[in-house]
Copies of this chain bind each other. A is one copy, B any other.
Amino acid sequence: MATNKLTGKKLLITGAAGFTGRHACEYFAKQGCDVVAVARHVSALEDMPGIKPWGCQLDHQTQVEEMIRHTRPDYVLHLAGKNSASESWHKPASYMESNVMASVYLLEAMRKHRPDAGIVIAGSRLSIDPAKGAAAAPHPYSLSKTFGSWVATAWHAMYGLPVILAEPSNLIGPGESAGFCTLLAGYVVGCEQGKSLPMFRISSRHESRDFLDVRDAVAAYAVLLAEGTPGRTYPISSGSEHTLGEIAAKLLAEAKVDVPMDWGPESAPLSADALNKGRSGDQVGSLDTLGWQPRIPFEQSLSDIMEYARRKTGMDDTGRP
């Protein structure tokens, strides 16, 4: 297996306390990696077994350099960043610091101390096609992820750093996520518990997105760290889209009670992923040819999300506390 190459190696994972980061730490620790898990506050890493916690504010250059100088990782998986489009309207500078400057500081520290170590940076399929110009940026989050993806590509092109850009689609699965599936599952479980909640509203139920299980994405990151080609951009997707309305129907079908729902306006079908069908100038790589395929069926992801939501609120899977 290609990822055996990583066994025994020191892998530094940023954003380790986040939704994807927690899955990544668990996966790579099980693979026998020496995982350095990085979060802003080490307290967020306390419940995670088999990792070495490291506290670092990635938007502080001196802290980042100190971290790399001290840990000297063989590989880096850079998952940290801010990822709420709505929040980004209110804090665009903070999004630029976290999604652009943090990458710059990390790459600069690697260039200085570990220039040969492989780096995978998680971008976003919401970055925009630069050929459309900055005026096409739908929100500051998208602009910041676009800059971040440029930094990843440019540090390979300009300095020869072995950087790979991964662009996952919408990641879902068990764990603390601010994504649609997790939010709705929490709402459904709340209704099962008889809580009085404001009605969940779907803004655009015909909106279609590519959803991928976070555990499949982590397996893809492992393949890219072991076998990816530096300088390339790798889209990571399930290859099939689902509408928000379809997901809502599936989650509601698992509910033990009637769940009230605001289905929102009847609107024309649209694909949110139309934003990014590959950017001009990118050297795009294929995960297929590296042997990666998504393995977790969509229904399994949804079921695991419901189970997580119930477990979190102390209910078993019969819907009773």
Contact = CB atoms under 8 A, between A and B. Distances in A.
Interface in A269-320: 279-283
Given A96-B104, A104-B92, A154 B150 contact: no
Contacts of A157: 134-137
Nearest to A133: B281
A149 B134 CA distance: 8
A309 to B, nearest CB: 34
Contact of A280 (B133, B143, B154, B282): B133
A143 B134 contact: no
A131 B130 contact: yes
A79 B298 CA distance: 52
A22 to B, nearest CB: 29
A134 B105 contact: no
Contact of A130 (B133, B156, B158): B133
Interface size class, chain A? 35 or more
A90 to B, nearest CB: 11
Interface string A155-176: 0111000000000000000000
Interface string A80-115: 000000000100110011001100110010000000
B131 A280 contact: yes
B92 A108 contact: yes
Contacts of A152: 134
A219 B151 CA distance: 35
A140 B155 CA distance: 9
A132 B129 CA distance: 11
Given A61-B93, A143-B158, A147-B147, 6 more contacts: A96-B100, A96-B101, A130-B131, A131-B281, A135-B231, A147-B150
